[in-house]
Structure 1
Amino acid sequence: MRSSLTARPDVNLLRLFTFTVYGTTVLVSSYFPLFYAQLGFSSSQIGLLYALGPMISLFSNLLWSLLSDRYRTVKRILILLYLGQIALTFILSESTNFSIIMAVITLFYFFYYPVMPLTDTIAIATAQKKQVNFISIRLFGSFGFAFFAIVIGYVLTRVGASNTMWVSIAIASISLCFALFIKDQPTSVAKLNLSGIWGILRQKELLWFLGCVFCLAIGVRMNDAFLSITLHELGAGENIIGWAMLASALSEIPFFIILSIYGDKLKELPLLILASLIFAARFLLMGLTHSAYGVLAIQLMHGLTFGIFYVTAIRMLTRLIPDEFRATGMAMYTIMWSSLSGLLSGTFGGIVFEQFGRENFYLVAAGSALLASAGFASRYLHRKQPGPQG
């Protein structure tokens, strides 16, 4: 076995890659909507464009993850995904027509959405092989999100929202460079056994878990899609939006660290119940505030909500799904957390925001988080056969 000192370069390269991956996430989630608004698109049109990504990711996540498991590679798939992103972002930078942008962004999302579950997949595999904590790698995603949130905000304040796509090309190119040098972590099974996946999907605990994740994700994706629009309505500029992203990213770091040390001593379902309840409170406050700086303060709750939820959900998922189906399992989780929920929240959320206002929009988001909390609680209270974890 190689020493930890010799193995460290592989882990550090993956940390740097994870750091840059989240730069594109900042742009897509927070600054692409402003780019659309700058082109004169309505809230319902922006909601539709946001919903296209989750719709495409329903099959793109599974397709690329199945290919990853089938051909035992994550690295080569990531390189292909970034090449596709860069080419399509260039086309977006030259487009202003809604129909053309809708067509191109559909293709862009085909290459964008699978990056996150595959990045988590290679990080989990590397952490296990090198005997380091997965969170010690994932933390660099939070650092990257925080760094790019504030830097991109100030850059776009200087160069204008019309140059959003060129900033995206620059960040994706940096990620591609790191992807070329990270070490691949193939799965233990060369050929994917689809009957094995069907057996996994028949697990009642997994289905219940994914259903609750879907309910919670509806509110989370509604907030993600319209956070920058909300701040813009409250008079915030691109730099304030960057500070909001920074606040949320930094707030999750201490919770990642605490849960990586003590999380295994706590039962999973109570933590998921707690995170869902705090999500509901967060969305209620978002609907009540009338200040951009109030939104900044509320964003600090992100650590309690997403920080607790993400670490616990990944821990539960790795317990429920065998290692040989890791990429596909992460894709299934992402479909619920981003794809199906994003499809519904983008189309339905855009209509609610435009027709009924921000207050009612966030009431709906809070209701979905409360429903998820009730689902996790019912599973915890009525589970007949207690497992090794709560």
Structure 2
Amino acid sequence: MNARRSGGQYSDQNWLRSFMFTLYGTSVLVVSYFPLFYAHLGFSSPQMGLLYSVGPLISILSNLFWSMMSDRLGTVRKIMALLLGGQLVTAIILARATDFSSVMLILSFFYFFYYPVFPLADTMAIKIAQRHGRNFIAIRVFGSLGYSFFALTIGYVLRTLGPQYSVAICIVIVVTALLITIGLKDVKRTEAAPLSVDKETADKPLKGSGLREILLQKEVLWFFGSVFLLAIGYRMNEAFLTISLKGMNAGDEIVGWAQLASALSEIPIFFLLSRYGDKFKELPLLACASLMFTLRFLFMSLAQEPGTVVAIQAMHSISFGIYYVTAVRYITRIIPDHLRATGMALFTVVWSSGAGLLSGTFGGLIYQDAGRVVFYLVATAFSVLAFAGFLSKHLLDLGGGTVRPLRNKSKPPL
């Protein structure tokens, strides 16, 4: 009996690890190599900024819609399979588009299905980890490994074939991820109910008041406000890192090495914080991460060679690595289990959607009109503001305020 249970446990986790590994291949393409595809089509920096920002604009609604559907229907796997199917259809259409208006329209539909998959995958990873008493990072880290693998591999493939094949590679990866969903074992919202809410509450469908219940909390709003400031600088760098490297005459493979440096560097930090992170309070760690982002973007404004940029990308470990693990742990503490998918979707809306909309739209204009140096100094300034936000909240808590969870008594999975 125990052997069978253990086999099922590892089967659940291994399928999800494979899914995470593959899923982040599409993230590599969208973040790092789609801009090369746009440049191949002859689009300008402001146009590429608009293409980057249209996704976050669409995802503000799509993240909330699909995550609330997941909470209502009590399924994550089926929603993710549906989203991957939508990505596949729109990517096939995108491969044939050439003019700016067509690409903009098709990408709007693609992003409607693209963005919600990641918070749902994180939700499944958190619940699978809770189900088997495992660490969330032991599953999530395979996303970083997949990102590293695809970042380097795709760079060399596109160097040989050309950036016009970016969408074709995306189609292959999406098909692979869709096939893997067949082996995933679904998780339901009610699984974690004994740890957080009474069974009667857990068995009821999620009402529309769940979103309002989250947003009425001052601690949550302060946290999301600071995250938003930090995300603007982060998304500016994400959107124009490839363009910055191309401006230094870097090859496609250098883009891959830069992404590899960032993805691999975060893995040891993930494990260290998963083991020792609970010894430290979340807000000081988030303030520390913001300070590391500040230094990272400041160094980017001074960089002149592609090799220097690759080295700076290794600071991803002490900036994003600290931030991500700590932010997820903070969310799982202040948002109850029965609102987990909705809470993660809100987090994604703030971190990716709202910030991506501003950074893509105005970032493209700043980059074209003021240049790369000023562009990264603006990103640095937003990181300083985020540092002030997290630190001031921590100091206020020390002065008498405390974080009051929304009836969530379960231990965070980190």
Q: TM-score, normalised by structure 1?
A: 0.98
Residue type of the alignment partner of 2:362: F
Tell me the distance in 2 between the aligned counterparts of 1:255 and 1:243.
19
Note if contact 1:221-1:338 (Cα within 8 Å) is conserved in structure 2: yes
Q: Which whole-Å CA distance do the structure 2 matches of 1:13 and 1:278 have between them?
A: 34
> Cα offset for 1:387?
4.4
SS at match of 1:180: helix
Amino acid at match of 1:250: L
Distance in 2 of aligned mates of 1:87 and 1:94: 12
Correspondence 1:320 to 2:334: yes
Matches of 1:123 and 1:196, distance apart in 2: 22
- The structural deviation recorded for 1:130 is 1.1
Q: Does 1:267 align with 2:290?
A: no
Aligned-residue CA RMSD in angstroms?
1.2
Measure the CA separation in 1 of the matches of 2:347 and 2:403.
21
Q: 2: distance between equivalents of 1:280 and 1:271?
A: 14
**Contact persistence 1:4–1:130 (CA under 8 A):** no
Matched, 1:126 2:128: yes
Instruction: Select which of 296, 300, 303 maps to 2:310.
Output: 296
The one-letter code sitting in structure 2 at the alignment partner of 1:305 is S
Aligned to 2:363: 349
Q: Does 1:212 align with 2:226?
A: yes
Match of 1:333 in 2: 347
1:21 and 1:141 in contact (8 A); partners too: yes
C-alpha contact (below 8 Å) 1:248/1:299 kept by paired residues: yes
Match of residue 186 from structure 1: 188
Over residues 183-231 of structure 1, what are the superposed CA-to-partner deviations in whole Å (9 max), with x where a residue is unaligned? 1001014511222331221111111000000000000000000000000
Q: What is residue 195 of structure 2 aligned with on the other side?
A: none
2:13 to 11, 14, 19: 11
Name the aligned partner's letter for residue 386 of structure 1. Answer: T
Q: Which runs of 4+ in 1 moved over 4 A?
A: none
Q: Secondary structure at the match of 2:371?
A: helix
**Mapped contact 2:245–2:255 kept (Cα < 8 A):** yes
**How far off is 1:98 after superposition?**
0.5
CA distance in 1 between counterparts of 2:143 and 2:157 reads: 20
Q: How far did 1:133 drift?
A: 0.2
1:329-362 deviations in Å (ceiling 9; x for gaps): 0000000000000000000100000100000000
Structure 1 residue ranges without an equivalent (≥5):
none
1:73 maps to which residue?
75
Letter in 2 for 1:104: I
Q: TM-score, normalised by structure 2?
A: 0.92
Residues in 2 aligned to 1:268 and 1:340: alpha-carbon distance in whole angstroms = 23
Which 10-residue stretch deviates more, 299-308 or 380-389? 380-389
Question: Matched residue of 1:132: which SS?
Answer: coil
Q: Aligned with 2:134: secondary structure?
A: coil
Give the alignment partner of residue 251 of structure 1, picking from 249, 265, 273. Answer: 265
Corresponding pairs, count: 389
Q: Hey, what does 1:240 align to over in structure 2? A: 254
Aligned to 1:100: 102
Q: CA deviation at 1:7?
A: 1.1
Instruction: Name the residue aligned to 1:57.
Output: 59
Q: Percent identity?
A: 54
Q: Distance in 2 between matches of 1:136 and 1:4?
A: 16
